[in-house]
Amino acid sequence: NAGVTQTPKFQVLKTGQSMTLQCAQDMNHNSMYWYRQDPGMGLRLIYYSASEGTTDKGEVPNGYNVSRLNKREFSLRLESAAPSQTSVYFCASRIGITDTQYFGPGTRLTVL
């Protein structure tokens, strides 16, 4: 039981490049989340998926898109990366019955 896994662990992009961050959970959780973590700002919610087939914007959705591919997988796409998107990205999941969110190990993204 791996919990929440994220790939890649590290990525460097040039301004304007695109990429997709992958997240998968093997806990049969209904809800999945994408956060970004910046120094001095805690974690901010980018997008979430309350259940398979649905996605909604969070606090900071601009510049991102998401896909809930199936119950296990929730991907985050940057279509045209900007230096302001340099951050550590965390995926999380929640079963829905409880409010505990389980976080992945994170992806450190640098946009030059």
Residue ranges in contact with other proteins by CB under 8 A: 4, 31, 33, 40-45, 48, 50, 56, 58-59, 90, 92, 99-106
Q: How far is the CB of 75 from other proteins (least distance, A)?
A: 17
Q: Write the single-letter amino acid at 49.
A: S
Q: Give the residue among 79, 77, 25 at the shortest CA–CA distance from 52.
A: 25
Asked whether 6 and 104 are in contact (CB, 8 A), the reply is: yes
Q: How far is the CB of 13 from other proteins (least distance, A)?
A: 21
What three-state secondary structure class fits 84?
helix
Q: How far is the CB of 108 from other proteins (least distance, A)?
A: 9
15 vs 100, which CB is nearer to other proteins?
Answer: 100
